Structure 1
Amino acid sequence: MDWGKQIMKTKTVYRFYADYEKEEAWLNDMAGTGWFLERFRLGRYTFVQGEPNKYTYRIELIEEAPSHPKSVAYFEFLEEMGIEVVATTFRWVFLRKLTTDGPFRLYSDIDSKIRHERRIFHLYSFVLYLNLFVAFLNLSNGIESFLWVPNLLVSILFITFVLKQYRKLSKLREARQLVERDQ
Structure 2
Amino acid sequence: MIKTNKKILQTKQALRNALWSLIEWKGIQDITVSQVCSMADINRTTFYKYYSIPLDILTEYVEEMCEQVLQQISKKNDHSSEFNIYSIMLDLCRMHDENKQIMKIYMEFNRVLLPIIQKVIVENLGAQLKEPNQNHFISGGVSAIIFQWSLNGYQQKPEDIAKMLTKYIDRLSGTNW
- Same fold at TM > 0.5: no
**Which one has the bigger strand percentage?**
1
Larger radius of gyration: 1
RCO comparison, higher one (Cα < 8 Å, 6+): 2
Q: TM-score, normalised by structure 1?
A: 0.30
Structure having the larger proportion of residues in helix: 2
